[in-house]
């Protein structure tokens, strides 16, 4: 995730007539990211539910869905539902990203950031969160079926990179592995990066694999609860789609 100041700078340069490739080169960010920033954000009018009215669904919905499936939950209060997404306090850029997504999907939302040791819980209140997150239900996600509705699948197909960003920036990590190989009688050490997504829900793991298939990234199940991307091309593709955890 890139800082908000970088996106603002990109939007300013684009408004001056520079192309995405030139802006990407000047700011040192992927061209695909600048291209996404050049697209107008669509969202529902203030307070209107896209499932209950004809209001449009936010173009960034898939990313919020990914964060919800990773580290989010919906709870009921007297007059509204609260969507809470737990973020690692060590990644303020991700905290800002989640806060921005809440406002994108629920325009006019008042976003709260509740700090706890090592964690920042980002939350917003709305009576329509269950409409947009029908996977909400009693119990833990890995103890109940998690299935996307057709309209949610379509949203992910439109923005698989955003969906992966939500998953990987919540329950994922980019790590460096190493190995030693004998080359012409000499032992050499090789370091290589990989992305890993960890979740106890088989359904959510399957959704991560499906999204990786949509963007043409090879993956494997390195353990019963972990999906790994370890090929050089795959890691580079995911890097370009989701950005670093900051």
Average confidence (pLDDT) over 94-104: 94
Say what the pLDDT of residue 211 is: 98
Instruction: Give residue-wise pLDDT tens across range 149-199.
Output: 999 999 999 999 999 999 999 999 999 877 777 777 777 777 779 999 999
Q: Where are the domains of the chain?
A: 1-39, 169-242
Q: Is 78 or 198 the better-scoring residue by pLDDT? A: 198
The structure's pTM equals 0.79
Sign of CA dihedral 14, 237, 221, 211: positive
Say what the pLDDT of residue 40 is: 61
* DSSP-based three-state secondary structure for 174: strand
Q: What CATH number labels 169-242?
A: 3.10.28
55 contact partners, CB below 8 Å, separation of at least 6: 44, 45, 48, 49
d(CA 143, CA 220): 23
């Amino acid at each position: 995730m890139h800082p908000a100041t970088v996106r603002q700078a990109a939007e300013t340069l684009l408004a001056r007539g520079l192309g995405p490739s030139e802006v990407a080169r000047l700011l040192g960010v992927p061209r695909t990211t600048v291209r996404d920033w050049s697209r107008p954000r669509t969202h529902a009018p203030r307070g209107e539910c896209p499932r209950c009215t004809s209001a449009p669904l936010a173009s960034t919905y898939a990313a919020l869905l990914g964060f919800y499936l990773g580290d989010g939950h919906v709870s009921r209060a007297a007059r509204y539902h609260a969507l809470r997404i737990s973020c690692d306090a060590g990644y303020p850029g991700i905290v800002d990203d989640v806060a921005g997504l809440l406002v994108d999907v629920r325009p006019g939302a008042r976003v709260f950031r509740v700090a706890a040791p090592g964690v920042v819980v980002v939350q917003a209140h709305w009576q329509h969160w269950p409409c947009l997150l029908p996977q909400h239900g009693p119990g833990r996600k890995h103890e109940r079926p998690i299935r996307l509705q057709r309209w949610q699948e379509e949203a992910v197909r439109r923005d698989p990179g955003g969906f992966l960003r939500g998953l990987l920036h919540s329950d994922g990590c980019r790590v460096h592995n190493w190995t030693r190989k004998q080359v012409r009688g000499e032992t050499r050490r090789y370091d290589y990066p990989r992305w890993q997504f960890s979740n106890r829900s088989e359904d959510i793991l399957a959704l991560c694999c499906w999204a990786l298939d949509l963007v043409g990234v090879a993956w494997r199940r390195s353990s019963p609860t972990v999906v790994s991307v370890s090929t050089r091309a795959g890691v580079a593709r995911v890097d370009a789609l989701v950005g670093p955890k900051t």
